[in-house]
Amino acid sequence: MHALALSILPTHETWFEESSAGHDWGFFLSPLPLALVVVMVAVTFVWRAAAARLPNPELAVLARVGRLTPWIPRLLGIHLGVALLALAATGAFLTPAIDDLDSVAGKTLLLVEAGLGIWLVTGYRLRPAAALVLAFGPVLGVVSGPVALLECANLAAVAAFLVIVPPGVDRHGAVAPSADAVRWGLFSMRIGVGIALIALAFTEKFTNPVLARMTLHDFPSLNVFDLVGIPMSTDTFIVVAGSVELLFGLLVISGALPQVAVMVAAVPFNATLILFGQTELVGHLPVYGVFLALLAYGSDPATARLVSWLPSRRTADRVDPASAPAPVEVAV
């Protein structure tokens, strides 16, 4: 039961509840949410400052994970492809929350989604496939509005990485991309996942307490504090859960201490599977792939410092983010 309670962090309520009106900014603009947002932003700055004083990688014991880096683009393609296939098979478009596509146009979208999923799983010339996934963004915006687009930024994050760092053509997709390509690929991926997590905190908690209350009513095990005997009102718990989601999004964007951040985040992201099962697994597949990428690149001494890189005007002018990596033979 305690494991279930850990799922307070990454749960997408719109996958399991009917959407409510939301956008109750009065709830967010009260003292506790505003104070906790300030705290989470401060924690992020402290986290990044602490990372500058620690070795890279910070956990040398995970060095073996760094050996996966040549195959990370291939693995990300599989994660994204399987997610799209599973979503299409269940009648959902890019997210389990959008599952009412009964029209001819809707069924066509699902067929295209499934086709792209198959293409991504094959690993053959994934840059165009990833670019098509990114092109789904405007379609999603038209179908379900900008909020759904923000919440699906994790899919765009993986697709953007594959546009910048696609897998190779031999050795099961192994590549040795340039440092510039890895920097931009990881930066794009961090931004996408961070946006998705931050959007989740606002659209399903900070500005939508009605939806959050419904979810807690239907799934009381989500409230870890009640389970351990710590009294906390429902609204306070909603604010705390949203603040933690916000913190996770900010930490992913910062890229600092990626090994520690991923290992901590993996606990609640996996705990939700016990409660929500297949829907949660399918919806979070791209995020699991991103976590694997951050962990692998963060565990490789050759790339660990690239994970937390932030672009400056000088590097943005100098680097071509679309530069293609060259496939190479890699010995483990």
The model's pLDDT over 265-318, given as tens digits with 9 standing for 90+, comes to 888 777 666 666 666 676 677 888 999 999 999 999 999 999 999 987 555 444
The pLDDT, as a whole number, for residue 103 is 86
Please indicate, yes or no, if residue 54 is contained in any of the structural domains.
yes
Please indicate, yes or no, if residue 326 is contained in any of the structural domains.
no
Top pLDDT among 11 and 205 is at 205
| Domains of the chain: total | 1
Residue by residue, DSSP assigns 167-216 as --SSGGG-B---HHHHHHHHHHHHHHHHHHHHHHHIIIIIT-HHHHHHHH
The pLDDT, as a whole number, for residue 102 is 81
Could you give phi then psi for residue 11, rounded to 5 degrees? -70, 130
Please indicate, yes or no, if residue 329 is contained in any of the structural domains.
no
Please indicate, yes or no, if residue 218 is contained in any of the structural domains.
yes
What contacts 185, CB < 8 A, 6 or more positions away?
160, 161, 164, 165, 177
- Checking if the pLDDT of 92 tops 90, the result is no
- Checking if the pLDDT of 1 tops 90, the result is no
Please indicate, yes or no, if residue 79 is contained in any of the structural domains.
yes
The pLDDT, as a whole number, for residue 58 is 95
CA dihedral sign, ordered 132, 135, 139, 141: positive
Please indicate, yes or no, if residue 255 is contained in any of the structural domains.
yes
- Checking if the pLDDT of 241 tops 80, the result is yes
Q: How far apart are CA 5 and CA 253, in angstroms?
A: 26
The pLDDT, as a whole number, for residue 279 is 62
The pLDDT, as a whole number, for residue 320 is 44
Which residues constitute the domain of residue 82?
2-318
The pLDDT, as a whole number, for residue 317 is 45
Considering 94-98, 128-132, 201-205, the range whose residues carry the highest mean pLDDT is 128-132
Q: How far apart are CA 54 and CA 43, in angstroms?
A: 16
The pLDDT, as a whole number, for residue 282 is 66
- Checking if the pLDDT of 5 tops 70, the result is no
The pLDDT, as a whole number, for residue 141 is 78
Please indicate, yes or no, if residue 195 is contained in any of the structural domains.
yes
The pLDDT, as a whole number, for residue 325 is 41
Q: Is the previous residue joined to 209 through a cis bond, with omega within 30 degrees of 0?
A: no
Please indicate, yes or no, if residue 323 is contained in any of the structural domains.
no
- Checking if the pLDDT of 13 tops 70, the result is no
Q: Whole-number mean pLDDT of the chain?
A: 83
Q: Which of 108, 113, 107 has the alpha carbon at shortest distance from 87?
A: 113
- Angstrom CA distances, 138 to 90, 146, 149, stand at 22, 9, 8
Collapse the DSSP code of 102 into the 3-class scheme (helix H, G, I; strand E, B; otherwise coil) and give the result.
Answer: coil
How does pLDDT run across 18-69, given as a tens digit for each residue? 444 457 789 999 999 999 999 999 999 999 999 999 999 999 999 999 999 9
How does pLDDT run across 163-203, given as a tens digit for each residue? 999 998 877 889 999 999 999 999 999 999 999 999 989 98
The pLDDT, as a whole number, for residue 114 is 95
Q: How far apart are CA 304 and CA 60, in angstroms?
A: 11
Q: Which parts of the chain are beta strand (E)?
A: none
The whole-number average pLDDT for the span 236-253 is 93
- Checking if the pLDDT of 117 tops 60, the result is yes
The whole-number average pLDDT for the span 93-100 is 78
Quote the pTM value: 0.83
The whole-number average pLDDT for the span 115-140 is 92
> Which tokens in the block code for residue 189?
């991926």
- Checking if the pLDDT of 139 tops 50, the result is yes
The pLDDT, as a whole number, for residue 283 is 65
pLDDT band at 161 (very low <50, low <70, confident <90, very high): very high
The whole-number average pLDDT for the span 317-328 is 42
